Chain A
Amino acid sequence: GQNIDQPTEMTATEGAIVQINCTYQTSGFNGLFWYQQHAGEAPTFLSYNVLDGLEEKGRFSSFLSRSKGYSYLLLKELQMKDSASYLCAVRETHASGGSYIPTFGRGTSLIVHP
């Protein structure tokens, strides 16, 4: 099984930088995803990390440390439309073989204010 922890809520100012952390415990790590979910809408894919290090994609970056069971999502130049829930999801390899199904955390609600 997995245990995924994220802060419940964060607030930040438009134009600023915010870092959303995710820690996890798993017996067989097999990849970590970040999704964005606006209220009442479907999750949309942001990033994927399977090796240690930083993956950058425009204003969004995601970092992974497998030895620490830790990831963060970094959002730069925040815009009002970035107000949403950010979901950390971890994929785990099972003893019986690979699993490609991510287990989602409860999400971090980010509020961006002017």
Chain B
Amino acid sequence: EPEVTQTPSHQVTQMGQEVILRCVPISNHLYFYWYRQILGQKVEFLVSFYNNEISEKSEIFDDQFSVERPDGSNFTLKIRSTKLEDSAMYFCASSEGPGREQYFGPGTRLTVT
């Protein structure tokens, strides 16, 4: 069964450093998403991406965040200058269409020290 994959599974970085989280969505899906979940809290939407551009973003997705689809398979989330409060699990998801169910990857646990 096709699945969303994410790398790395765990990333530790120092405050102020840049990190890139990588995702490979399901191959026939056209809509891609990033969510985050701070430990013990609810899943929060960051951004959605379709046709090589951002279609929606939340208030959390400020100028320090960016997304890119550098090739036909990868979808990346870049955090330019990490802060302690960026420590969370980051989930990538993809869907066939805008209203269809989203399939989540296993997540990348980001720890900012």
Contact = CB atoms under 8 A, between A and B. Distances in A.
B98 A100 contact: yes
A101 B56 contact: yes
The size bracket of the interface on B is 20 to 34
B103 A102 contact: no
Given A100-B98, A100-B99, A101-B56, A43 B45 contact: no
Interface in B85-112: 91, 98-99, 101-107
A104 B48 CA distance: 15
The size bracket of the interface on A is 20 to 34
A45 B106 contact: no
Given A31-B99, A42-B105, A43-B91, A100 B42 contact: no
A48 B42 contact: no
Pick from B45, B56, B101 the residue with the most CB of A within 10 Å.
B101
Interface of B: 31, 33, 41-45, 48, 56, 58, 91, 98-99, 101-107
Interface of A: 31, 33, 37, 41-45, 48, 87, 89, 98-107
